[in-house]
Amino acid sequence: MSDVAEPVTVPAAEMGAGAALPIAKVLGQPYHELPQDLFIPPDALEVFLDTFEGPLDLLLYLIRRQQLDILNLPILQITAQYMEYVELMQGLNLELAAEYLLMAAWLAEIKSRLLLPKAPELEDEEEGEDPRVTLIRRLQEYERYKVGAEKVNELPRVEREIYIAAALPPDFGALKPLAPDVSLVELALYMQSVVKRATHFEHHQIRREQIPTRVRMAEILAMLTLGQTLRLEQVLRAEEGRMGVLVTFLALLELCKEQLIWILQAEPLGPIHFALAEQSEEGNHGAAH
C-alpha cells in the first residue's frame, strides 16, 4: 500500500438510517477499518461535507431527504441520523458549534421521554402532551423562513443580475463651436461649382453583347472572295442599329489586325473598301485541300 493516501470524499448525504458509515472512500471503494500499516501524513486528506446553517437546517435536510412529514415526525429515525452526522464530524476532529450539541441533547431527551415509561404521578399532568410539539413548531417556523429566503434569493439582485447604469451626462461645454456664418451668395457659388463638377462624370450600363464579334468576322469573310472589294455600307444592316455598326466596325478592325483582310482608301475622306488578303485566301485553299 502506498505511504500517502489519496484524497477521499465523505459526503454527509450518504448517511443511512441503520447503515454503518465508511471511514473513507478510495476510488469509490468504501473502507470501514483503517489498515494497520497505513501512514497518513498531516493534511493529506481532503474532506468535503455538506454545510448547514445550524442544527435546524440539518434536521430539515434529513426530513426532506427522507420525504418525511413534519407533523408526524419519526423522532427515533431522525435522532439516529442526526447523531451519526455529529459523530462523523467529531471523528474527523471538526469543531462543532454549541447549538449542534444542544440539539443533540434535546433530541436525546425527546427520545428518552418517548421510550421510557412515565411515572404514575406525572401521567395526569402530561397526559396528551407530545414531547415533539416544540421541536415540530420550531422546524415549521424555520422551514417558512428558509422557503421565504430561497424565494427572495431567486429575485433579481443588484450587482448580481441587475446593474445600475452609471453613464455620465455629456459635457456640452466641451463641444466645439459651430462654424462661422456663411452668406447665401457663398452657398449659391458653392452649389454651382458642385453641379458643374457633376457634369464631368458620365456613367453607362454594360450589357451583354447581342451580336458576337467573332460571328460577324466569319460573316464578312464569307462575303469576300479573292480580288473582290466591298464597301462598308454593303455589310451594314439597318435593322441592327448602332450596335450592328459598332460590331461590324470592330470585326473589320480585328480581321485587319489578324491580316485576314486589307482596308483600302483611295483618297482622304474617300469611301472605305476592304478586300480579302492573299495569304488568307491561300490559307483557305490549303485548309480546303
Beta strand 229-231 pairing with 272-276: antiparallel
Taking only the tens of pLDDT, the chain with its 289 residues reads 344 344 344 444 444 444 567 777 778 788 888 777 766 665 555 544 556 778 888 888 888 888 888 888 888 888 888 888 888 777 665 666 678 888 888 888 888 887 777 666 655 555 556 778 888 888 889 899 989 988 988 888 877 778 787 778 877 777 666 666 777 888 888 888 888 887 777 766 776 657 788 888 998 888 888 778 888 788 887 787 888 888 888 898 899 888 888 888 888 878 888 888 875 444 444 332 3
| Per-domain boundaries in the chain | 12-117+130-154, 213-288
Q: Which CATH architecture has domain 213-288?
A: Orthogonal Bundle (1.10)
**CB-CB neighbours of 55 under 10 Å:** 24
pTM of the model: 0.36
Neighbour-count burial for 214-241, b at 16+ CB within 10 Å, e otherwise: eebbeebeeebeeeeebeeeebeeeeee
DSSP tag of 14: G
